[in-house]
Structure 1
């Protein structure tokens, strides 16, 4: 709350918070004369009567309620003094939810450290061969990665198939470790306004021809001319992409999106912006190593870890 770009907002919020408490106290005290009506005094009649003899009186609040009201106001002031709530004022205890989360994360990491300590001297390749490490990596995958890549790791529309693998980024243990740790962000600019949709259709036919998919040969010939103008800088003359900029290989059978003409035209015209979030602030380095080993083993020389359901049930 106290991270404001202008000091005005800090004072503004503090004034509202304190003003609310002060107003409540003033409201209570300004009615003291009415609240202190004694038993001997006659209670005023509102004049409302129901069912013949059910009369509404204007009785004062009981004293215990008044005391409770004032105590709650005092509690509010004390809370605002100790904890953040008065704009830029951080509170006497310097408490923040960010700090609490960090402390809890450190405490959790310390509690599970013995589980990972025995794997400290193993490389990712060695972890991939260790049955216990494989189970840990798999459970981490199901907890943190399956939402996007699927419980079978085969991905889906716009999410990579980790079992199949994609050479756009290194499939080495180090490459996978870097991907999980720092995340990835692949951006393809849209060409709407630079080319017509008919020209995009021709480019799509040429792209399909690169993967030996069914295509219109005449349209592909026309499309190559525009491909050489707009696409070659990233995807290369031969269409095999550029790992340095994250441009995919258009000649293989790996399609993050559909290989249909309609989808390719949409990608060309509208562009793409795919992002995999970095896990370095979510998982510990030990957990990331376990995950990297498990993912690497999915596509290592055609081998696969044991079936997901079988491992989870053990």
Structure 2
């Protein structure tokens, strides 16, 4: 708040308090010549008379005490423009104190799960239930209440992991987040292979997942362009690179859709996906619990335990 607005607020508050004080003092005082409370001359039906009796003294004193309390309140708490108050109270400090108390309660609740391996927690029904509750509050907005994702948000119930599905990799994803970037290749590919270059690469990419190409020429041209541009991330065989988050193009799953149009859009204009970091929001133990829940959802948990590198 600027100094000018601060002065305006302070002046407005002071004038209102003084005005209320003066109004109360003026209306509660009887003056010479005022009619008696029962002599207002307002009479109806012969025997119904309107009186004008003053408020009881204790009530008037109560009003004054209320205004005195208001002044004390405004001096102690920040209610006068930029004046912070002698109590140095802030809503942020109040929030932080309340949060610290609740965090202590949560820490005690989650203490039995501190540092336990993800696979061990995934076998503990109580831990999985807690992880499911944390997931519903924190992760379901993007991944859905059933964790099956949506367009642009990965399905967490299958065994496809772009950044790896080992215990450590899943936990790292939750704690520190991920950022996947697919560059825009439309202009580059068009310069290399003409106006059908993007379509050709999309056709070849679909063939890597077992789709029979409708046009063998496009598939053949797409293979050459793929090997000149895409292999750096996705590999010569299309198996991807988990260190980069580059997806496996041979498994038939495409997070943004596997139609020709969707794949062409991805190739032409790129994609930018962000999984937010939850270390500061959830802390180590709650992140570990939600990671164990996510890890337990995969249909290939047993196989992944035996061979993490297969993911």
**Aligned equivalent of 1:226:** 225
TM-score, reference length from structure 1? 0.69
Equivalent position of 1:308 in the other structure: none
**CA–CA separation in structure 1 for the residues paired with 2:97 and 2:147:** 32
Deviation (angstroms), 1:77: 9.5
Q: Distance in 2 between matches of 1:184 and 1:273?
A: 11
Q: Structure 1 289/193 Cα, relative in aligned 2: closer, same or farther at 3 Å? A: same
User: Which residue of 2 is the match for residue 58 of structure 1?
Assistant: none
Alignment match, 1:45 = none
Give, in angstroms, the shift of residue 101 of structure 1: 3.3
Bigger RCO (CA 8 Å, 6+ sep)? 2
Q: Closer, same or farther in 2 for the Cα pair 1:125/1:20, shift >3 Å?
A: same
The match for 2:134 is 140
Instruction: Give 1:82 deviation, angstroms.
Output: 2.5
Q: Give me the whole-angstrom Cα distance separating, in 2, the residues matched to 1:91 and 1:225.
A: 72
* TM-score (norm. length: structure 2): 0.70
Distance in 2 separating the partners of 1:22 and 1:96: 22
CA distance 1:92–1:205, shift in 2 (3 Å): farther
Q: Deviations over 1:282-301 (max 9, x none)?
A: 22322222111121122274
* Counterpart position of 2:308: none
What residue number does 2:111 align with? 117
Which SS does the other structure have where 1:187 is aligned?
Answer: strand
Residue by residue, what CA displacement relative to the aligned partner does 1:219-274 show, whole Å, maximum 9, x if unpaired? 12222343344433333333322323322222222221110011111112222221
Q: Give the Å deviation of 1:10.
A: 4.2
Alpha-carbon distance between aligned partners in 1 of 2:287 and 2:189, rounded to the nearest angstrom: 43
Q: Deviation at 1:169? A: 0.9
Higher mean alpha-carbon deviation, 253-262 vs 230-239, is at: 230-239
Match of 1:282 in 2: 281
**Cα RMSD, aligned residues only:** 3.9
Q: Is 2:6 aligned against 1:14? A: yes
Is 1:105 matched with 2:99? yes
Look up the match of 2:203.
Answer: 205
- Pairwise CA distance, 1:149: 1.7
Aligned residue runs from structure 1 range 70-81, under 5 A: 75=70, 79=74
Match of 1:298 in 2: 297
Matched, 1:244 2:243: yes
- Structure 2: any 5+ residue segments left out of the alignment? 35-58, 304-311
Which among 149, 152, 161 is matched to residue 146 of structure 2? Answer: 152
8 Å CA contact retained: 1:84, 1:95 = no
What is the SS of the residue equivalent to 1:118? helix
Change (3 A) 1:272 1:83: farther
1:210 Cα offset (Å): 1.7
Structure 1 CA distance for aligned equivalents of residues 188 and 176 of structure 2: 34
Determine which structure has more spread, i.e. the larger CA radius of gyration.
2
Change over 3 Å in CA distance of 1:278–1:75 after alignment to 2: farther
Question: Cα distance, 1:193 vs. partner?
Answer: 4.5
Structure 2 residue aligned with 1:47: none
Give me the whole-angstrom Cα distance separating, in 2, the residues matched to 1:91 and 1:213.
71
Map 1:160-175 → 2, pairs under 5 A? 160-175=154-169
Q: Residues 224, 182 of structure 1: CA spacing in aligned structure 2 closer, same or farther, 3 A cutoff?
A: same
The structure-2 alpha-carbon separation of the partners of 1:270 and 1:35, relative to structure 1 and needing over 3 Å to count, comes to: farther
| Aligned-pair CA distance for 1:150 | 2.2
Equivalent residue of 2:180, what SS? strand
Give unmatched runs, 5+ long, in structure 1. 1-8, 42-63, 305-314
Match of 1:265 in 2: 264
